Amino acid sequence: MTIATETYKGDEALAGLLKKSGHPADLSQIRGLLAGVVAAPEGEHPDDWIGLVAPGADAACRRQLQALRQEVSRSQKAPGLQPGPGRLVALRKELARRGLAGFLVPRADEHQGEYVPPRAERLAWLTGFTGSAGLAVVLAERAAIFVDGRYTLQAREQVDTTLFEPQHVTDQPPDAWIARHLPKGGRLGYDPWLHTPEGLKRIAQAAAKAGGELVPVEGNPLDAVWTDQPPPPLAPVIALDRKFTGRGSEEKRESIAKALAGDGIDAAVLTTPDSICWLLNIRGADVPRTPFALGFALLHRDGAVELFMDRRKFTPGLEAHLGNQVSVELPEGFGPALDRLGAKAARVLVDPQSAPAWAFDKLAKAGAKPVERDDPCLLPKARKNEVELAGTRAAHRRDGAAVTKFLAWVAQAYSSGTVDELQAAARLAEFRRQGEYFRDLSFDTISGAGPNGAIVHYRSSEKTNRPLRQGELYLVDSGAQYFDGTTDITRTLAVGTPSAEMKDRFTRVLKGHIALALARFPRGTTGSALDSLARYALWQAGLDYDHGTGHGVGSFLSVHEGPQRISKLPNRYPLEPGMIVSNEPGYYKTSAYGIRIENLVTVIEDARDGDERPMLAFETLTIAPIDVNLVDKGLLTAAEIAWLNAYHARVRETLSPQVDAGTATWLAEATRAV
Amino acid sequence: MTIATETYKGDEALAGLLKKSGHPADLSQIRGLLAGVVAAPEGEHPDDWIGLVAPGADAACRRQLQALRQEVSRSQKAPGLQPGPGRLVALRKELARRGLAGFLVPRADEHQGEYVPPRAERLAWLTGFTGSAGLAVVLAERAAIFVDGRYTLQAREQVDTTLFEPQHVTDQPPDAWIARHLPKGGRLGYDPWLHTPEGLKRIAQAAAKAGGELVPVEGNPLDAVWTDQPPPPLAPVIALDRKFTGRGSEEKRESIAKALAGDGIDAAVLTTPDSICWLLNIRGADVPRTPFALGFALLHRDGAVELFMDRRKFTPGLEAHLGNQVSVELPEGFGPALDRLGAKAARVLVDPQSAPAWAFDKLAKAGAKPVERDDPCLLPKARKNEVELAGTRAAHRRDGAAVTKFLAWVAQAYSSGTVDELQAAARLAEFRRQGEYFRDLSFDTISGAGPNGAIVHYRSSEKTNRPLRQGELYLVDSGAQYFDGTTDITRTLAVGTPSAEMKDRFTRVLKGHIALALARFPRGTTGSALDSLARYALWQAGLDYDHGTGHGVGSFLSVHEGPQRISKLPNRYPLEPGMIVSNEPGYYKTSAYGIRIENLVTVIEDARDGDERPMLAFETLTIAPIDVNLVDKGLLTAAEIAWLNAYHARVRETLSPQVDAGTATWLAEATRAV
């Protein structure tokens, strides 16, 4: 984060500096852009926006632009997220005015991403809850907030429970609550931009069961009462070089368009930023930790794209990169474009898992024929090409070196007893920033000492910060966004001497991790089929963990990417060569400690003599030592010991040349054979 | 099978005998019943029907009744199932007459069971194909038959491929074929009694894609041209004693009805015979190998049942067993009963996975509100109660003794080189028939020597029969229906000395079997999550098997029962205590040998010290030795060896007292510790 050290000297002075730098000096335009810039996360490169208005501006001009940003930021600063009852009262008044008995407030934006821009933090604005998933249901007399197991504690802390009854989403799902509390004949409203058709199904049934009705609203009533709602974010959009993407956008578009045409489909609606960014080889910074440029797109059967995105956030040269098969319009143009498809009675692909209900309604009303099918970018994006895989391997080597420097630093530093969670996370980020192509962290680091490690989605704060103490475990889950790949790694360290129980648990988690790392499986196998392999050793001792075993990962895109995953939940997408997925079994003892061992792996073809089936396996991408002080060797089979020693030999050989002598010495000891 | 040794002496003579036995002598009524009796499978108790017309008749009267049955059977005998083109021609003519461009001929009856009565063998009548799953699509110019991997060879042998293009159902699904070949504007007909709404979804889309339409027909056009189609079967329906069912029907009905009422549901449509038989504690013999009494039922919210079943097949006393809360009407009364529900605008539960599309259409047209939900008997039936579990354990001890006698007999007999597949299967059935409560086999025995063992759904015939030969494997998969339980077991034997490869493969299959047998898993786990545990050891060697790992099993009901299963396929039903499921990994080397090790297991609660979760595990029900001559001990872990030896100790202790001295001696050796 860059702090402007100058005060803003006024529009006239800045206009002069801009003119001197050879740039148009339309200050009202710049202020308009800045409203969007400060509505995007600041991130690791807070000055990049200057390239949008005055690329190559001189230092004096840049300093004043920074000062102006600070000023705009202050004036537009989002109000604190501790709402009193006033917001709920205002919303209810607005609902009554519109004849609505209730309204759904999801933690979602139009793109159904995990991270949303400040403008879309409606749930936080209304309730104070800042978790990454949740739903409030507001009725005239009562309101509830539904969160999952990760967030029950946090919701109780952040939310005024006299206003919103906190509910566990699986114990008491919203549909059951709605069926009980929606008054007969009541119209329950939803913003069709913020929900998928799939997500609404059960709620519609529940409303019907209560004798009421679920109805779309035009114009979000919460937005109507959120007077200082931030505008849409405007972070710079860049082209991602072919040396990172491996395939040109034109080639991607042609191949998908051909498949659409073959299926008699005229166009595909794209609403998820990762699909659009992947297809056009662009990246942005509109949401935290993820290089998304928010927008909508239509891919036509001839390979042409209509992109609905604010051109003001394009960095110089981006339109040339997009080429003349990509036309650009404002997001407001998305609706009229669907109308045009309707007028031609076009068959339009739209994904009911990710597209807003709005798009389905719009297409149907316009006379188009919606074809409900997977987003056509979903699988091509998930199957990384050779260039992307080479990039991710390089990124993991860089990332592993940073993690190893960090681990060596922790080992040295905690012996003096002065390391705490926040210091450790900051130090780890510092090591990563030194890496080539580093852009950002890929998520807020989970740095949990002792009992904090048992909180699966823990984020350390001044309030919870805790030193690393002898006899405790320290869990650190972190990752980075590099131009050539996205990383995500968890290591668990013994601080001092671990207990026998800690070693037993760690070794069971490790056995699960190795079972997956060594697994061979026939083509066609889904991650659902593999999940139990990672749990078996824990299950035998009556233990388990309450999260998935593996999530998909993007290429300089989202750190949580579908459609593949390793999980108890059903999944219809087989693992395919080139897909990246995490391997992260864990164990959590509430109020005591947490254990997780996470490497990213990619699916590879694995043909061997004697095979009767086309077999696949995993190549481990993450390169960093696993704490052997926590291993109870007696619990491991010979094959498991062989895996661990071979992995550590690879870690040592790969990283030793990349780190300083002190770290290399530590690494040699850390990767000793067991 | 009982062969009538007398010739029929005429109606007058029989009338006299009946009168003497004290029974009404309405011969036309008896002939009417017999038409249905001979349209049911003969089974193991072909004379039970006599109890329907003349219970307690004297020997002379019984002999003449048997003679009459033979006469009716001869006159009504189904024509050979090798159709020429005539049937297809006749069907096409009928379709043209009705303005249909095509018609679907599934291998299904109104109840969607695995076994169907002769009347419903429409696919076999039309195409000659006798497998247990398949679909023909008949268009004016071309026709195709779709079968799965088990049946591709059989279909090519049985079907005239100049009339029906044989297709592999996953490589070339019917919907793709229909989308390509249905003429534009063509109406593709289906009999709504024979398809579920779920089953029609993709086909309807395909017809639309072709520019045609999928339409229900009234009256099956195939039935219209099948002039000698058998009538519905009339096998005796018996009451199943509470000592076998553990719960009275009234109690079952009350508990389910209460749940329906709680959900605001007025009635539930029941169309699967296992649900109806379970709910009413009745059994029949209308289809092969499965004690089904075919019919339909409505369960009302007050616990009353309308049963739509031909009363002529009720054994004496059955109506008293049913009680006065169960009203009985002919199957033809089912439609009007749905109309009555419609007239009351009732909310009616109906299961889209198993109920015919006809029921949905009927309810909707009548004005009822269909509620699409699981058949309410599905889960209570799957969770066996303590009495059912005690019964199944007893049945398995009896069955295991029969299997053990058989294995000892094989061991002794094949050393002289004279045993073949058919002899072996017959002998095994003989041993089972000696067991208390034996009713029937639970499926046609799979008795496969050498390469025949590699055919997963092999049925030996005079044509394929093969002796057990030295150096080969012999696979036998068999089971029985007892009043107190249904069994299903597979054993694979080394005939002489097995090769190292055979032992390697067998041991990998055994490792998979043991991984499941030893598995502990948290409550909430589905069989989909466990499937890979049974495959891991095979996968590591590049091997696999193309069938599920476990199917649910009924209590003196279907040997394949849902909703639980252990399979790669997604399944949303967690394994619950009392559910019975098979554990049957395998390995098949085409043209060489087949290996399968199958035990039935039941899910049990398994709480142990130190557990942090409510854990479940499997109790193995099947008691019979596994061939230790095929075990490569070096591939087993200590825990696996311990399981095998403990299992064999239990087999020996349980069965030795139940078998003759010679068998006991063989058993002691067969169950020696490895």
Read off the pLDDT of residues A649-669 as tens digits, 9 standing for 90 and up.
999 999 999 999 999 999 999
Interface mutation vs chain A, best among B347, B536, B590, most A CBs within 10 Å: B536
The closest of B284, B337, B344 to B314, measured between CA atoms, is B284
pLDDT of residue B104: 98
Q: Is A325 exposed, middle or buried (0-12, 13-18, 19+ CB in 10 A)?
A: middle
Dihedrals phi, psi of A45, to nearest 5 degrees: -130, 65
Residues of A in contact with B522 (CB under 8 A): 539, 544
- Distance from A365 to chain B by nearest Cα, in Å? 20
Q: How far is CA A5 from CA A1, A57, A64, A70, in A?
A: 12, 17, 10, 10
Residue B521's closest chain A neighbor by CA?
A539
Number of inter-chain CB pairs under 8 A, A vs B: 85
With H, G, I as helix, E, B as strand and everything else as coil, classify residue A238. strand
Mean local confidence (pLDDT), A116-127: 95
Question: What's the 3-state SS for B329-396?
Answer: ECHHHHHHHHHHHHHCCCEEEECCCCCCHHHHHHHHHHCCEEEECCCCCHHHHHCCCHHHHHHHHHHH
Q: How many CA atoms lie within 13 A of A601 on its CB side?
A: 30
Do the beta carbons of residue A236 and residue A52 sit within 8 Å? yes
Q: Are strands A213-216 and A267-270 parallel, antiparallel or unpaired?
A: unpaired
Q: How far is CA A473 from CA A163, A453, B281, in A?
A: 38, 8, 58
Q: Over the stretch A212-229, which tens digit does the pLDDT of each residue have?
A: 999 999 999 999 999 999
**Residue A1 above 50 pLDDT?**
no
The closest of A277, A273, A300 to A355, measured between CA atoms, is A273
- CA–CA dist A643, A661 (Å, integer): 26
Verify whether the Cβ–Cβ distance A611 to B533 is below 8 Å: no
pLDDT of residue A356: 97
Residue B372's closest chain A neighbor by CA?
A205
- Looking at residue A435, the DSSP 8-state letter turns out to be S
End-to-end CA distance of chain A: 43
Angle at B539 between CA B536 and CA B542, to 5 degrees: 165
Kindly provide the residue ranges of all beta strands, DSSP E only, lying in A567-658, ordered along the sequence: 580-583, 586-589, 593-596, 599-605, 615-620
Task: Round the CA-based radius of gyration of chain B to a whole number and report it.
Answer: 26
The neighbour count for residue A12, using CB atoms within 10 Å, is: 9
- CA–CA dist A269, A298 (Å, integer): 5
- Looking at residue B237, the DSSP 8-state letter turns out to be B
Residue A611's closest chain B neighbor by CA?
B542
Cβ contacts of B257 within 8 Å, gap of 6 or more: B299, B300, B301, B302, B303
Task: Report the residue from A540, A571, A610 with minimal CB separation from B541.
Answer: A610
pLDDT of residue B574: 97
Q: Taking each helix axis from N to C terminus, what angle separates A421-433 and A386-414, rounded to the nearest 10 degrees?
A: 140
Residue B540's closest chain A neighbor by CA?
A520
Verify whether the Cβ–Cβ distance B613 to A544 is below 8 Å: yes
Q: Over the stretch B375-389, which tens digit does the pLDDT of each residue have?
A: 999 999 999 999 999
Do the beta carbons of residue B468 and residue B410 sit within 8 Å? yes
ipTM computed for the complex: 0.90
Do the beta carbons of residue B510 and residue B535 sit within 8 Å? no
Q: Taking each helix axis from N to C terminus, what angle separates B386-414 and B638-655, rounded to the nearest 10 degrees?
A: 90
Verify whether the Cβ–Cβ distance A264 to B209 is below 8 Å: yes
Verify whether the Cβ–Cβ distance B520 to A540 is below 8 Å: yes
Per-position DSSP letters for B209-222, written without gaps between them: HTT-EEEE-SS-HH
Whether residue A273 has a cis bond before it, omega within 30° of 0? no
Do the beta carbons of residue A289 and residue A444 sit within 8 Å? yes
Residues of B in contact with A210 (CB under 8 A): none
Mean local confidence (pLDDT), A267-277: 98
Q: Over the stretch B441-478, which tens digit does the pLDDT of each residue have?
A: 999 999 999 999 999 889 999 999 999 999 999 999 99
- Distance from B111 to chain A by nearest Cα, in Å? 28
Angle at B331 between CA B327 and CA B335, to 5 degrees: 95
- CA–CA dist A655, A412 (Å, integer): 19
- Distance from A263 to chain B by nearest Cα, in Å? 10
Please report where in the chains the tokens 């009353």 appear, as a residue.
B304
Per-position DSSP letters for B40-93, written without gaps between them: S---S-TTTTHHHH-TT--HHHHHHHHHHHHHHHHHHPPPPS---THHHHHHHH
Please report where in the chains the tokens 């991984």 appear, as a residue.
B515
Q: A545: which 2 tokens? A: 């963990």
| Interface of chain A toward chain B, CB-CB under 8 angstroms | 209, 264, 515, 518-522, 525-526, 528-533, 536, 539-544, 568, 570-572, 608, 610-613, 615, 637
pLDDT of residue B189: 98
Residue B568's closest chain A neighbor by CA?
A529
The low-confidence residues of chain B, meaning pLDDT below 70, are: 1-4, 77-82, 417
Mean local confidence (pLDDT), A627-655: 97
Please report where in the chains the tokens 């439609």 appear, as a residue.
B335
Helix runs in B522-637, H state only: 527-539
Task: Report the residue from B528, B544, B608 with minimal CB separation from A542.
Answer: B608
The neighbour count for residue B412, using CB atoms within 10 Å, is: 13
Verify whether the Cβ–Cβ distance A264 to B608 is below 8 Å: no
pLDDT of residue B1: 42
Residues of A in contact with B531 (CB under 8 A): 529
Do the beta carbons of residue B27 and residue B63 sit within 8 Å? no
Residues of B in contact with A615 (CB under 8 A): 539, 542
Q: B460: which 2 tokens? A: 């030996």
- CA–CA dist B510, B584 (Å, integer): 9
For all residues of chain A together, what is the average pLDDT? 95
pLDDT of residue B320: 97
Interface mutation vs chain A, best among B171, B528, B538, B546, most A CBs within 10 Å: B528
The closest of A475, A468, A405 to A445, measured between CA atoms, is A475
b vs e for A465-484, b when ≥16 Cβ sit within 10 Å of the residue's Cβ?
Answer: ebbbbeebbbbbbbbbbbbb
Q: B198: which 2 tokens? A: 């779920």
Residues of B in contact with A533 (CB under 8 A): 532-533, 536
Task: Report the residue from B541, B572, B610 with minimal CB separation from A542.
Answer: B610
Q: Which amino acid is at A229?
A: Q
Query: Which residues pair with residue A618 across a beta bridge?
Result: A603
Please report where in the chains the tokens 């040592």 appear, as a residue.
A652
End-to-end CA distance of chain B: 43
Q: Over the stretch A523-569, which tens digit does the pLDDT of each residue have?
A: 999 999 999 999 999 999 999 999 999 999 999 999 999 899 999 98
- CA–CA dist A24, B45 (Å, integer): 99
Helix runs in A415-499, H state only: 421-433
pLDDT of residue A418: 85
The closest of A171, A182, A118, A183 to A146, measured between CA atoms, is A171
Residues of B in contact with A543 (CB under 8 A): 611-613
